[in-house]
Amino acid sequence: MVAAIAVTSPKSTVLQSPISLKNPNSSFLGGSLKGFSLQLKPRSQKKDSGISLVVASAGDKTTAGGSYSSSTASANRFYFNITGFPFPLGPFLNRRTTRTEAVKGSIWLFEQEQALGFSSVSTNIRMTVIKLKSGGLWVHAPIAPTKECIKLLKELGAPVEYIVLPTFAYEHKIFVGPFSRKFPKAQVWVAPRQWSWPLNLPLEFFGIFRAKILEDEDLSTPWADEIEQKVLSSPEVGIGPYVEVAFYHKRSRTLLVTDAVIYVPKKPPECINKEYLLASAKNGLAVKLLSKGKKVPDEPVVDNEINRQKGWERMVLQILFLGPSNLLEPNASFAQMSQKLIVSPIIKTLVFSKVPEKVPLRQAGLNY
């Protein structure tokens, strides 16, 4: 989903705050979710210690297709994928990439659209790139390595040294193998306790070879002096354990997570296809099924900002909730979820609610 804190996913902002994974006075502390927990705790010693969000404006975004003809742009965005369970992950043939400089000369966000099967529901998926003191690049949660994506990455003028898979989640894992083949000299690191469903396939099946395992608070990683890491892991809940690795870039004071905490932007991300937004704004089957007997007007959808916004709000509610209660008029529910740090209701229901004593997120003032 719309990953909030300098993330992939879930997820269009960077959370920057004076945070340390080890300092007891910091905003991110180790706890006990089978050893550790995500516990965001405000500091009390400094007046400026509150969490601040640095939101990249549309003007900061770059694409590699500015001077392309439409046919060339399409070719540079081509990526074929029909895999995924229970629904294949789209777009199946064409993925536009945007690049945002989040921290000048240091951190960049690359985003693509990720669609759910053959539906009109999609969101942004994010890759975060950090330039290390060595001059090399540290890549967090790779996205589809289209020609456009690779061109935007190479424009940074630095070699890719490390490729990091911070989670077990399929929607991020699926791109690591193809991405790493574009940079064969880069080391690949993956979160521990990898699994897949319905078949528990080895990493080699996904094209991930010779990967190193990310360990909790590992001081031996090549980036340990610049980036701290913490493994967030639950006992097996349902079909498998929830696992992700959080990172803290000390120089920019930036925390990176994947799905544990998210931030939903008010406006749809630039990478989302307007056709999907308009299709989601249409009163289709999902809206009628969840209208609870209310009369659903069958009206044509005109391409305008209001309908694109409605489409985005409906997308978000369908992604975050197992069964959203009001898709017909989504604005009130959407307003409760957007422009703030939250725990995704699906993650809360399927993961954190199973171990509430080990996930004290209420202390952070998060919407949990």
What was the pLDDT predicted at 170? 81
Which residue, 212, 243, 261, sits at the end of a domain? 261
In-domain check, residue 355: no
What was the pLDDT predicted at 329? 81
The residue that leads in pLDDT, 287 or 23, is 287
My answer on whether 177 and 124 are in the same domain is yes
| Most confident region among 135-139, 174-178, 298-302, 358-362 by mean pLDDT | 135-139
Joined tokens for residue 333: 């529910």
Domain that holds residue 237: 14-261
What was the pLDDT predicted at 324? 63
What was the pLDDT predicted at 232? 82
Structural domains counted in the chain? 2
Residue 198: which residues within 8 A CB-CB, separation 6 or more?
Answer: 85
What was the pLDDT predicted at 140? 97
Q: Is 58 helix (H, G, I), strand (E, B) or coil?
A: helix
| Most confident region among 76-90, 114-128, 173-187, 274-288 by mean pLDDT | 173-187
Mean pLDDT of 8-19: 35
In-domain check, residue 228: yes
pLDDT tens digit sequence for 58-72: 335 666 544 456 777
My answer on whether 277 and 254 are in the same domain is no
Mean pLDDT of the chain: 76
What was the pLDDT predicted at 306? 93
* CB-count burial class (<10 Å; 0-12, 13-18, 19+) for 160: buried
My answer on whether 35 and 160 are in the same domain is yes
My answer on whether 301 and 157 are in the same domain is no
pLDDT class for 300, splitting at 50, 70, 90? confident
Mean pLDDT of 119-137: 92
Q: Is the pLDDT of residue 179 over 60?
A: yes
In-domain check, residue 357: no
What was the pLDDT predicted at 287? 77
My answer on whether 50 and 160 are in the same domain is yes
What was the pLDDT predicted at 238? 65
pLDDT class for 102, splitting at 50, 70, 90? very high
- The answer to whether 342 and 348 are in contact (CB under 8 A) is no
In-domain check, residue 219: yes
pLDDT class for 344, splitting at 50, 70, 90? confident
pLDDT class for 293, splitting at 50, 70, 90? low
Q: How far is the CA of 302 from the CAs of 36, 283, 295, 329, in angstroms?
A: 49, 13, 20, 17
- The answer to whether 19 and 228 are in contact (CB under 8 A) is no
What was the pLDDT predicted at 47? 40
Which residue, 261, 288, 321, sits at the end of a domain? 261
My answer on whether 237 and 293 are in the same domain is no
What was the pLDDT predicted at 223? 97
pLDDT class for 42, splitting at 50, 70, 90? very low
Please report, rounded to a whole number, the percentage of residues in the chain having pLDDT higher than 70. 73
Mean pLDDT of 133-157: 96
My answer on whether 194 and 47 are in the same domain is yes
Q: Is the bond preceding residue 86 a cis peptide, omega within 30 degrees?
A: yes
My answer on whether 126 and 212 are in the same domain is yes
My answer on whether 219 and 273 are in the same domain is no
My answer on whether 256 and 313 are in the same domain is no
Which residue, 211, 240, 261, sits at the end of a domain? 261
Q: Is the pLDDT of residue 142 over 90?
A: yes
My answer on whether 325 and 247 are in the same domain is no
In-domain check, residue 362: no
Please report, for the domain that includes residue 249, its CATH number: 3.60.15
For Cα atoms 183, 189, 190, give the angle at the middle one, nearest 5 degrees. Answer: 125
Mean pLDDT of 279-305: 81
Q: Is the pLDDT of residue 136 over 90?
A: yes
My answer on whether 324 and 211 are in the same domain is no
Q: Is the pLDDT of residue 167 over 60?
A: yes
In-domain check, residue 349: no
| Most confident region among 22-26, 198-202, 221-225, 320-324 by mean pLDDT | 221-225
In-domain check, residue 365: no
pLDDT class for 320, splitting at 50, 70, 90? confident
In-domain check, residue 343: no
Alpha helices (runs of H) in the chain, residue ranges in sequence order? 70-76, 147-154, 170-173, 176-182, 274-281, 285-289, 305-320, 331-337, 345-350
Mean pLDDT of 324-336: 81
Q: Which residue has the tokens 């694409």?
A: 63
What was the pLDDT predicted at 61? 60
